[in-house]
Amino acid sequence: MYGLDVLEYPTHRLRRLRRNVLLRNLISETRLSVEQLVMPIFVKEGISEPEEISSMPGQYRWPLNDKLVKFVDELYVNDVKNIIVFGIPKIKDSIGSEAYSREGIVQRCVKMLRETFGNKILIITDVCLCQYTDHGHCGIVKQLPDGNYIIDNDETLKLYGKIALSHAEAGSDIVAPSGMMDGQVREIRKILDEHGYQDVAIMSYSVKYASNFYAPFRDAAHSAPRFGDRKTHQMDYRNAHEALKEVVTDLKEGADIVMVKPALAYLDI
């Protein structure tokens, strides 16, 4: 039903995930190892000391300074060499412009860590708008004549492409679109390839169910929506076949890695 017969070069470059030992270890299929763990890093503008996350005791939002470098070094010493960076900007607006600023918090973080650690660590970066918009939604919000609001899918894609490109320019190994917009992988792959970043991989949040389990993350990243919810773009928890459609669609568009979230609640998927 969901054939992969159109996975063709150059949209798909299987060597992208073989180009260094960190990537090969991350996606190896038949073992479970510390080399496959990915540590989330929440980096926040405007703070100078680590800030404990109340909903996740013992976890912190990190300032962009030597304290973050020391933490990442501790991870490295303990063989955790893969991180995913989530940014929390000081300034938010309706279009999340700090998300794609070349001087944005994620972009500066990636540059700093790359300069410090070189290629000894694998850096994944979250591609979304919810932390950066003043309304907390994952895309461009438009009001309809009847007063309701929608996420403008295609306008949002343009910004996702700009975000991903800015992350690649900063030194990200993998960009991870998490907004569940239709066509997000295709748009990002197109932009990256056009600008010479064919080796930057895409890890798509292909099957991201609408879930209450995200509450601690939204607290950590200051990304809860100010109104409404995300059920018009995140997956319905009742649907399994639709999940397969999402995965196949993203693979056809050029995703190198696909994921299911939240994982433990959807092991059947």
190 is catalytic: no
Q: Which residues contact 118 (CB under 8 A, 6 or more apart)?
A: none
Catalytic residue among 81, 92, 162, 208: 208
- The residue with tokens 């299911």 is 260
Rounded Cα–Cα distance for residues 186 and 22 (Å): 25
Rounded Cα–Cα distance for residues 105 and 267 (Å): 34
Write b or e for each residue in 105-140: b if 16 or more Cβ atoms lie within 10 A of its Cβ, otherwise e. bbbbbbebbbeebeeebbbbbbbbbbbbbebbbbbb
CB of 262 closer than 8 Å to CB of 178:
no
Q: In angstroms, how far is the first alpha carbon of the chain from the final one?
A: 16
CB-based burial label for 78 (10 Å; 0-12, 13-18, 19+): exposed
CB of 256 closer than 8 Å to CB of 203:
yes
252 is catalytic: no
Rounded Cα–Cα distance for residues 35 and 253 (Å): 27
Decide: helix, strand or coil at residue 158: helix
CB of 180 closer than 8 Å to CB of 139:
no
Active site residues: 208, 261
